[in-house]
Amino acid sequence: MSDFFQDFKLFESNAEEFHILTPEYIYSEIGKENEALVVQALARGEDFPAEVRHGKIFSIGDIESVSSNKKGMFTNIVTRSSFGKTETDFIVITDPDIREDFIRLLHIHMGSEYKFNKKQLTSVTASLKPLFYVLIILGVGAVMTQLSINAQTEPIEEGRILKARVRVLYYLLGLINPVWVMVFTGIALFTALVIVIRRIANPPHIIQIKPAKRRVAYLARFR
């Protein structure tokens, strides 16, 4: 095996695209018709060819965590941005075994400050998070419906001091029939319940990379 393939590896995304993983970067969504051009350029130590179409380029030093459901096709990548904020993107690798190999090699490049974890969730643990969202939807829906009813029947008294955002929200809810608020809540609730049922029937098989310690994750934001 050449030195090039010890440092750079190609991972098929789908029938038309692939990703390149190096010790420093992830070059995503490269068209297969450009495979030879890209490989030759990187093998010679040149920059990524500017004329080649590609997706986002991830700097491995900015990656904070990675996660994927082996039963799906997406790999979520959380990166650090300015002022301690984070951004979440995803790349597609349709083959689950290729996706696991990609994440394992990425973990090696990220270093010992991060740990690789692989776990099969049970039906109970898989349902907990979406059930929490169901409760949030019920609570927010109930509050918004009641506010809409109040806005219809009890306009804001003149001279009453309220924050501008509250006044605007109250005004908008006054324009919306409470029935529509309940309809939107019902749609959101139905969607959440479908997700709960699916996760119970087919619990995710999670593969992830995350900071080995919380302190490391905190300090890494300021690297």
pTM more than 0.85: no
Residues 101 and 128 in one domain: no
Written as six digits, the tokens of 129 are: 């998070």
Residues 90 and 132 in one domain: no
Give per-residue burial for 136-163: e unless 16+ CB within 10 Å, then b.
Answer: ebeeebeebbebbeebeeeeeeeeeeee
pLDDT in tens, 183-192: 999 999 999 8
Using an 8 Å Cβ cutoff, are 80 and 221 in contact?
yes
Residue numbers of the domain that contains 112: 3-121+205-220
Residues 110 and 72 in one domain: yes
Domain CATH number, residue 107: 2.30.29
Residues 110 and 129 in one domain: no
Residues 173 and 72 in one domain: no
Beta strands in 22-104 (DSSP E): 25-31, 57-59, 63-69, 74-80, 86-92
DSSP assignment, residue 48? P
Residues 115 and 151 in one domain: no
Residues 153 and 47 in one domain: no
Euclidean distance between the first and final Cα of the chain, in Å?
A: 34
Residues 56 and 160 in one domain: no
Q: What is the CA radius of gyration of the chain?
A: 24
Residues 25 and 106 in one domain: yes
Residues 18 and 110 in one domain: yes
Written as six digits, the tokens of 188 are: 């959101």
pLDDT in tens, 91-126: 999 999 999 999 999 999 999 999 999 998 888 888
- Rounded to 10°, the helix 164-175/123-153 angle is 80
- Binned at pLDDT 50, 70 and 90, residue 167 comes out as low
Q: How many domains does the chain fold into?
A: 2
Residues 53 and 99 in one domain: yes
Residues 117 and 127 in one domain: no
What dihedral angle (degrees, nearest 10) is formed by the CA atoms of 126, 127, 128, 131? 150
